[in-house]
Structures are given as C-alpha cells and as structure tokens.
Amino acid sequence: MAKFNTFNHLEFNNTEGGLFLSYTNKNGAKVAAGLRRIFPSYGTQTAQSIELIEAGPLEGSIVAQTPKSFVISCGEIPPGTTTNQNGIAGIWHSANGDLVLSAPKGAVRIVAQDIQLVSHGDPGEASDQGHVSMYATGDIRSKSTNVKMEARSDMALGGEKEVLIVTTNQMTLGGEVKVDEGHDPATIFSSYGSGTKTPFQWAEMIEKFVNGLKSAVS
C-alpha cells in the first residue's frame, strides 16, 4: 500500500487522551481525524479510539474500537410514540451491502417485547432472495406456549435418520393424507407386514429393491 501524505498533521493531547488530525494508522489507512485515549494500557491489541478514515480500503468509513464494552443507550422518549405504537428509538440502516453481527467467542442475544424477522427479497430463481435461513452445528431449539407455522405453497419436514412427532394428547391430520413407508432398503424386510402397505405394494417394493441390486453389480 502506498504511503499517504500527512504533512498537515496536528495533535491536541495530554497524558490521558487526544485529538489527532491527518495521520496513518497501524493498518496503513489515512485518518482525517481520530479521537483516542492515551492511557492506561490494558495489554490488548485495541485501544479506545474513533477514527474517520480518509484514504485506503476503508475510505469514508468510521472505525470505533474499545477493549471493553461499547454501549449505546437511547429511547427514553422515542419520537412517534402513540397509544398503539412504541415509536422508533434506534435505527441501524445499511443502504447497500450486508450487516454482520459477530461474536466468535460469545452469544448474540436479541431481547424485546416482540421480535420480527422480515425478509422481502425476490425468491425467484434469478435472485434467490427473500429467505430466512438458520444454520447450526448443534441443535436448533424452540420452546414456547404455541408454535404456529403456515406455508402458502409447500411445507417439508425431513430427517436423514428419524422424524419423531409426539403428543401426550390428541393429534389431528387434516386433508388428503398419504403414507409411504420403507424407502430405506434396510427397513424393507425388517418392517415387512407392518404399516399400511398391501401385500402387492410390498412385493412391488421388494422387486424394485432386487432390481436395483442387480443393476448395481452388473
């Protein structure tokens, strides 16, 4: 990265903190203005600072960092409050690009009276947007008084090993119900004679299974 011209560098500081104008930070970016605490040093990689980046990969950005907590408090009297609406106490708006909340060594908690996840992108094949996705290396856990899910088109629930639906009371299935069993070859013979399949259906399934084995070894 080329070195930037900082000939008009100025500093206004004491032993506790200062205002620094026109300098290059440790990442090689030119900073138009920076507010930084001098002491104490916590032995960390970051210090308490706010920088207005003038040139470099993050040109036009504001970088704020601290080795401890970063707290924003607002909304004691939010504008737009009515008897039916809480008003808007805070907005984090990104005109373009993604917003990333990262806590690689901690948890991300969202706590509110109501939580709404809204995705309004175009789900068409060209854009493939408008989705709400969740990924986890462990469980995805949900617990509430009621769980309600509705799909305007299709709803799918699958498990590579087992799908378990349990209730201690009553289960209701509405609409046309189709039961299809025994797709796992290991269960074809172990579950023979059980479930809703007729002998003809079992014979047809076994025939397909045998033909599949013949094709695999031929």
Which pLDDT score, from 0 to 100, does residue 206 have? 73
In this structure, the number of other CB atoms found within 10 A of the CB of residue 182 comes to 20
- Report phi then psi at 121, rounded to 5: -75, 170
pTM over 0.75: no
Q: Is the dihedral of CA 174, 177, 182, 187 positive or negative?
A: positive
Q: Mean pLDDT score of the chain, rounded to an integer?
A: 83
Which has more pLDDT, 89 or 39? 89
18, 3 Cβ separation under 8 angstroms? no
Give the whole-number percent of the chain exceeding pLDDT 70: 83
| Inter-CA distances, 217 with 88, 203, 204, 206, 213, Å | 67, 22, 20, 17, 6
Rg (CA), the chain: 30
pLDDT tens per residue, range 39-56: 766 677 778 899 999 998
Write out the two tokens for 32.
Answer: 């138009």
In the chain, domain spans: 1-68, 181-218
Cβ atoms of 53 and 60 closer than 8 Å:
yes
- Separation of first and last alpha carbons in the chain: 62
Q: Please determine, for residue 186, whether its predicted confidence score (pLDDT) is greater than 80.
A: no
Query: Tokens for 128?
Result: 């493939």
Among 5-19, 87-101, 112-126, 189-203, which is the least confidently predicted range? 189-203
pLDDT-based confidence at residue 155 (cuts at 50, 70, 90):
confident
**H helices present in the chain, as ranges:** 185-190, 199-217
Q: β-strands 10-13, 49-55: how paired?
A: unpaired
Task: Check whether 189 has a pLDDT greater than 60.
Answer: no
